[in-house]
Amino acid sequence: MVHLNPQPGSSTFHGEFRDCHVKPTRGALACMINAEIEAVLAVMRRNVRWGIRYVADDDHLEHSLIHSLKELRKQIFSWQHQWNTINPAVYLQPFLDVIRSDETGAPITGVALSSVYKILTLDVLDLDTVNVGKAMHLIVDAVTSCRFEVTDPASEEVVLMKILQVLLACMKSKAAARLTNQHVCNIVNTFFRVVHQASSKSELLQRIARHTMHELVRCIFSHLPEISNSKPVIATGSRSFAAEVASVLDKDHMFGSIQQENGHVGVEYDGQSSNEQASSIPTGKSADEMDASKIEETGTVEVAQDSENSMTEPFGIPCMVEIFHFLCSLLNVIEHIGIGPRSNPIAYEEDVPLFALGLINSVIELGGPSFSQHPRLLALIQDELFRNLMQFGLSMSPLILSTVCSVVLNLYYHLRKELKVQLEAFISCVLLRLAQSKHGSSYQQQEVAMEALVDLCRQQTFMAEMYANFDCDITCSNVFEDLANLLSKSAFPVNGPLSAMHILALDGLVSMIKGMAARIGNELPASDEHSVNFERFEAFWTLKCDNYDDPSCWIPFVHQTKYIKKKLMVGADHFNRDPKKGLEFLQGMHLLPDKLDPESVASFFRYTTGLDKNLIGDFLGNHDEFCILVLHEFARTFDFCEMNLDMALRLFLGTFRLPGESQKIQRILEAFAERYYEQSPHLFFNKDAALLLSYSLIMLNTDQHNVQVKKKMTEEDFIRNNRHINGGNDLPREFVSELYHSICENEIQMIPDQSASSAVMTSSHWINVMHKSKEAAPFIICDSRSLLDRDMFAILSGPTIAAISVVFDQVEQEDILQTCVDGFLAITKIAAHYHFDDVLNDLVVSLCKFTILLTPLSIEETILAFAYDVRARMATTAVFTIASGYGDYFHSGWRNILDCVLSLHKLGLLPTGLVSDAADDKESSPEPALGKPATSSLSTLHTPSLAPQRKSSGLIGRFSQLLSFDMEEPMLQPDEELLAALQRAREVIQSCHIDSIFTESKFLQAESLLQLVRALIFTASRLQKGNSSMEDEDSAVFCLELLIAVTLNNRDRILLVWQGVYEHISNIVQSTVLPYTLVEKAVFGLLRICQRLLPYKENLTDELLKSLQLILKLDARVADIYCEPITQEVMRLVKANATHIRSPVGWRIIISLLSITARHPEASEAGFETLSFIMSEGVHLLPSNYVLCVDAARQFAESRVGEVGRSISALDMMAGSVVCLVRWSCEAKNSVVEEDAMKVSQDIGEMWMRLVQGLRKVCLDQREEVRNQAVLNLQSCLAGVDVIQLARALWFRCFDHVIFTLVDDLLDISLTNSSKDYQKMEGTLVLAMKLMSKAFLQSLQDLSQQPSFCKLWLGVLNRMERYMKVRFRGKRSEKIHELVPELLKNTLLVMKTTGILMASNDVGDDSFWQLTWLHVKNIVPLMQSEIFPDDELERIKHNKAGVLPVTEGALLVPSSETTA
């Protein structure tokens, strides 16, 4: 038996009275009881009746009530034992007799009740007290049967209050565990009668009575969690509660007093008993009880017999079942009074249902999940309670509806696992229906329903559970989707201002979104995404989940069922248009087998929602053989076991519409009767009996509920019509009568509702609900993890963004605006987490519209509007918060972000460091910006601007113009309002941290970064097109600066963005013919990119340096203006990155840029400094840049822009570069590969040749110092390559193209030009002649054996001969005339000594000997005799042995003059 059974001495009940903490001693208790006796006697003596003695048999005797009190008074002080060993009945009985007596008045009864209450509160009675159970029974029996004479209304109300007080004290007492189930039921019964009678009494009594009954019910059910369910119990005996409710409520009032008879309160007024008005407790089951008992798991006679004694057991589950059923039955009063869902709530008394709902809510709160452990209690909630809640949920009274919603919220929280179908029905048929304002619901009803839905949405797991249990269940409606659509639509103000309903719906939407956002990061471990792919048929109605408690099992399952449900909805739509094509479509989707079978089609009809029930009825009633088979299979899907015929018929006909054709009806009812008889053969003789009775019920339903039928069928008519149908016998009269009344009271809906969400909850519908609850899949409990949020967000995101945007656009209250912003940010977080990039971009587009930054207003108007429009400020903050935190997921949204940034730039509100990159800018020396004022251009790029100054387009720039001293135009001072607005706007923008969007772009994902760069290029290109205004040009410059900053920030991913950046800069540079800021920023941005990226991207060095070719393509006018700063940047680039430049292509571009500056007045200094850095000491000279550097140095040497000293320095650098050639030659000799060494040697020869050729050109310079220095440097270069094994052919080339050409050119210049143009040419000619002589002697040994040597030698002699003949201003040069013979003599001696020039007897003009002396005689006629005296010459001629051997050291050392 299920009841409380605490151990002695334990304190199971914790309802002790807090005003009594210490149990009195034995003597104190005696004194207390004595005082109570005295109090009762004193009140009795005040009454005349009790003040005289009664005469009996001539003996003067006291009344038995007084006598018993006096006798107790004598005994109490003589008791020596502990009070818990004394039978409480001894000292309680005299007081209880007074309470029971109908001779006592209200004052006396009240004092006796107070005495009993005092004894209870002193904890005299506890579980260790002797016979405490019997004592508690005596107290309850006496108080519930209390009788007294009413003397005045006030005293009557006092007694009633004290009755409630004593009974509540009994329940809170420690000894309450000894009360039986019956006594507790009697207490509750008495309480309710007092509560009902109090409705005609004072307000105070009414409130106290209701309050104490709440306390009583809470006290009883607070012990439900402590009770374990050992076995189910069917309790009887107190079922009279429900039967008495109607009779109690039908009475207008209760009479003067309360009396108890057989457990029920009777009344007595002026001594006249009216017990006949009180009914006695029936010992058997009522009809109502019989119906309720059907939902019990056991119905055997043995259990019922055991339950007869359950009411005498210590109280527990049996009495709780009775009390809870009693509370539920209080809601049935609506049926007795005849109130319908559309009735006026004022037309009937609201007190009873409100009071009952309040008590039920308290019971649910206290019992909580413990109800699920007790099937009897749970069955009451699932059926009777929820059925009544559905009815009262459609009440026109907002108060009742609000209370009902509170009860449902508690039921969801505690018992949703056991109430799946009931919750679906309530949400769909009550809350959604009312909130949608369907069927004429009032605004108050809509608001209450919406509040209830929003409260549910605020539950952490509600929406996830709705989606998992209903939207992903093929037999249920899409509760989550319907709720999301309702909230989003309800947030839209259609044709009026924003109301509380709109804000409430918004709150619900935001609550759902914020709940999803809060769950992000709390997800299941990553697993393979469950894919659903039906490639073969599988009976979808048979799918089950292995474990509904394990998310790893049920998540794939609900994904699968949701996929099937979507396909079924599409298939249902096809079926509703054309049943045949619909079935074919389902076959193609593998939801039906390739070859249709009756079972599959029947199951499709039975378990698919959204089908046209008219079409189902026509299909099932068709005479086609396949349709008949489907009909019978359809009937077999129903379970009619232990179900009345009318209930089974209601359930069956609720799934389709019965056709109107009699033959179809016949076939359908035959299938139904066959199935019903198959499962309930004990009721009918055969299936024909079930068919006939079913037909009769259909006809009765039409007769009773068709308004066109005037004469209705009576019960006797119905019974008579159904005689002898059960195999020739009659069916039991009671059975047929019950069916008659059931049909009359509740119509069978012959036209079932097509949509479950809008259906009115009729009895037939409720039967379907209860039947569905038995077959429904278990309720899936979701935890705080993000399990299905991705799928839910896909449904929710679009309507939610639209709804929040509309509210955000129309509302003015800041708190509601903040709610909208919170919703936007939560949507952003979810969309980013689940990679809903389109959702995120759409959200950004929507938000940007609210910033007013894109509105075409003047600058002043925009500033004022932005500063004083809280919506615009919040939207702007939200936009840039999203951009900063979730830029990884932006695509098209970047364009809107940039439009806002550009607008802020035009307003002058951006932070000054916006376009700075993340690298250390201290590396670059700061330079003054010579372009537009810093107020409008907030760039911190260290790029000088030489473009013409322009007026600022920003507001700050305008202020600076207003405050300037330019008096050409009248200027107005900005007012204080504008200044204050500007300050506020600045503060808002500063808090947005817009700079982080670009400075932190290095953390963006590759795709998002690419989209950002493309957006910058697109925006800048758009501003460049057409006839751009000043503001557009300024914005294009700003976009370019941002683009360069982003590029520099992403140097590690430069390859990703470089192509687009380069093309954009190239378009700017090549389309520009006039200097202005945009091309300036493009050029210097490009230089800075190269400068900053070269150290980090060696593989990209050539690509970066090639981009500098754009500078060479600048228009001449543009290039001339920017030449100096460009050179400065190139110098920085080279100094910082010279070691990283290796390729000829890169050096060619760098040297080309430097060469251009050689003749530029401002840029040449920086250019020469850069070239000096490269060539000095040969550190950065490379084979790849040697020739380029030599040519550039030559150009600087030839340039007259700088001082002579710079030209000489350039020549020195050229001459000094020979050292590098020598070094490279030595390195080449050590090369292992001979072919490589030869190749390097050839390259070095060519580089040397380019060097001497370059020097030769400078030797012709007009400036004497430069010219002479060039000749000397050329001489050193010729002499400095002794260690280099130059090819002999190279020397011949050198003489032909360099030395001889130089000597000839100098001579020609001296002869053809005036001395003013070329001063002191004589000295240069002397140096040139010496250079030729030295070069010839240097190469003499190597070249003398070559065939071309004779030609070379004659060339030297010819130049000497010409120089001897030269005249300056008609006079010969003494220096040359002295120098040439000496040089010639020295040369001849060396040739003689080396054996190259020897006497020969050969006669002919082509003899080397003859040719030599032929030319020498033209120069110095007597030179031969000096070199070869006659005697020596004669000896040589006669010496046939040839040339004498030359001894080592015989070479003639030149004189100091010749070597000078």
Find the range with the poorest average confidence among 617-631, 952-966, 1328-1342, 1344-1358: 952-966
Closest CA to 601 of 632, 640, 641: 632
The model's pLDDT over 450-509, given as tens digits with 9 standing for 90+, comes to: 999 999 998 888 988 999 999 998 888 899 999 999 999 888 877 777 788 888 889 999
pLDDT band for position 535 (cuts 50, 70, 90): low
CA distance 209 to 707: 47
The model's pLDDT over 1257-1311, given as tens digits with 9 standing for 90+, comes to: 999 988 889 989 999 998 898 888 877 778 888 888 898 999 989 998 888 888 8
CA distance 1155 to 1196: 8
The 8-class DSSP code of residue 180 comes to B
How confident is the model at residue 728, as a pLDDT?
83
Closest CA to 87 of 149, 144, 134, 156: 134
How confident is the model at residue 265, as a pLDDT?
38
- 661 catalytically annotated: yes
| pLDDT tops 60 at residue 1442 | no
| pLDDT tops 80 at residue 18 | no
Q: Give mean pLDDT, residues 1044-1055.
A: 87
CA distance 1267 to 1260: 6
Q: Give mean pLDDT, residues 1034-1049.
A: 87
How confident is the model at residue 1232, as a pLDDT?
58
Residue positions counted in the chain: 1460
Closest CA to 1061 of 1100, 1034, 1118: 1100
How confident is the model at residue 169, as a pLDDT?
92
| pLDDT tops 70 at residue 660 | yes
Phi, psi of 272 (to 5 degrees): -90, 115
What tokens appear for 1199 in the block?
């340039």
Instruction: Classify 726 as helix, strand or coil.
Output: strand
Q: Give mean pLDDT, residues 630-644.
A: 87
pLDDT band for position 1158 (cuts 50, 70, 90): confident
793 vs 1369, residue with greater confidence: 793
In this structure, are residues 456 and 512 in contact, taking their beta carbons and an 8 Å threshold? no
How confident is the model at residue 5, as a pLDDT?
46
Instruction: Classify 105 as helix, strand or coil.
Output: strand
pLDDT band for position 822 (cuts 50, 70, 90): very high
1451 vs 990, residue with greater confidence: 990
pTM as predicted: 0.75
Closest CA to 65 of 86, 44, 87, 34: 44
How confident is the model at residue 273, as a pLDDT?
34
Exactly one of 38, 523, 538, 661 is catalytic; name it. Answer: 661
Q: Give mean pLDDT, residues 936-961.
A: 37
The model's pLDDT over 871-918, given as tens digits with 9 standing for 90+, comes to: 888 999 999 999 888 888 888 888 888 888 888 888 888 877 676 644
Mean pLDDT (the chain) is 79
In this structure, are residues 1212 and 1204 in contact, taking their beta carbons and an 8 Å threshold? no
Alpha carbons within 13 angstroms on the beta-carbon side of residue 623 total 4
CA distance 1247 to 1193: 14
Q: Give mean pLDDT, residues 688-694.
A: 87
How confident is the model at residue 408, as a pLDDT?
93
pLDDT band for position 287 (cuts 50, 70, 90): very low
Q: Give mean pLDDT, residues 556-576.
A: 88
| pLDDT tops 80 at residue 973 | no
How confident is the model at residue 1460, as a pLDDT?
34
What tokens appear for 251 in the block?
């009475």
How many secondary structure helices (H) and strands (E) does the chain include?
A: 67, 8
In this structure, are residues 819 and 873 in contact, taking their beta carbons and an 8 Å threshold? no
The model's pLDDT over 90-139, given as tens digits with 9 standing for 90+, comes to: 888 898 988 888 888 888 899 899 999 998 888 778 888 888 888 889 99
The 8-class DSSP code of residue 316 comes to B
The model's pLDDT over 416-444, given as tens digits with 9 standing for 90+, comes to: 999 999 999 999 888 888 888 766 778 88
pLDDT band for position 357 (cuts 50, 70, 90): very high
| pLDDT tops 80 at residue 212 | yes
In this structure, are residues 1002 and 1052 in contact, taking their beta carbons and an 8 Å threshold? yes
